[in-house]
Amino acid sequence: MGGLLRTVGRVLLFLQFAFIIGFFVSLSRVTPADDPVGKLGFSIFVFGIPGLMSFIGGKYLKKRKETRKRMREQNLIPARDSLRVSDLLRFIGYIILFGIEWKFLTVLAEWPVPKSQLTTVYGVGLFFFVLGIFMLWRASRIDAKADALYMQQQAENMNLSDEDIEDDEEENEDWDDDEPQQARGLAAAESAAASAPLLPKMVSCPGCGAQTKVSPRSPASCDYCGSAVAYDQA
């Protein structure tokens, strides 16, 4: 999806550039009734802004996909073997945004349009644009929460495994009473150093790069984009 969005963004930005060139070339042949300046301004909402957002969003999704792939290989997040509610929300969000783009293209093709109709188009377009972006944001939050829950379960399983290992070591310990006291002290010091608890540290978010405080066996979510952040990512 990231590569497709970047391609769409490039196409829309190219169309915006071509529209501006065509505007200046045909400026001498249009009349004030055609409202050429208003048409040029409206083209920014048709080509410029959607193209820029698509290109930037595509780069973000591509980077996020690569990061999540590495995290899956390390078993930090679950594999996507089934559809989620987030997939449906994301699909609806893209359909809404595509519908807005199609409507704006239709209005641009029918230019000039009455100001009352243009005001309605702007209002409806803004409403559905916010709705579409909300769908995409909500889908990302659902994925982030699911990943964080999986990481928490993995951490709990790891804690149980460590406790079992420690219990086995305690049962199998059999100190020789004749062993020199110095050797005992050295072994105890090495054991304490090996079992020293890890301290929380700041880890860069794989999605947006923001610094997030993460505990050794307690996953965290980024405060800015909601992506799951693991202790081993640093």
Local confidence pLDDT in tens for the 234 residues of the chain: 778 888 888 999 999 999 999 888 888 787 777 788 888 889 999 999 999 988 888 888 888 778 777 777 777 666 665 667 888 998 999 999 999 999 999 998 888 888 888 899 999 999 999 999 999 999 888 888 877 777 777 777 766 655 556 555 555 555 455 555 556 666 665 665 555 556 677 777 777 777 777 776 666 777 777 777 776 655
Question: Residue 203: enclosing H or E segment and its boundaries?
Answer: strand 201-204
- By three-state DSSP, how is residue 202 classified? strand
Amino acid at 26: S
Cα–Cα distances (Å) from 91 to 1, 28, 83, 152, 230, in that order, read: 11, 44, 12, 28, 28
Task: Please name the residue that has the structure tokens 């997030």.
Answer: 212
Cα–Cα distance between 94 and 135 in angstroms, integer?
9
pLDDT of residue 36: 84
DSSP 211: E
Check: pTM over 0.85? Answer yes or no.
Answer: no
pLDDT of residue 35: 83
Residues with Cβ within 8 Å of 212's Cβ and at least 6 positions away in sequence, in order, are 202, 203, 204, 205, 220, 221, 222, 223, 229
pLDDT of residue 128: 94
Cα–Cα distance between 85 and 74 in angstroms, integer?
25
Cα–Cα distance between 160 and 137 in angstroms, integer?
35
Question: Is residue 144 packed enough to be buried (19+ CB in 10 Å), middle (13-18) or exposed (0-12)?
Answer: buried
pLDDT of residue 61: 81
Torsion of CA 155, 158, 164, 168, to 10 degrees: -140
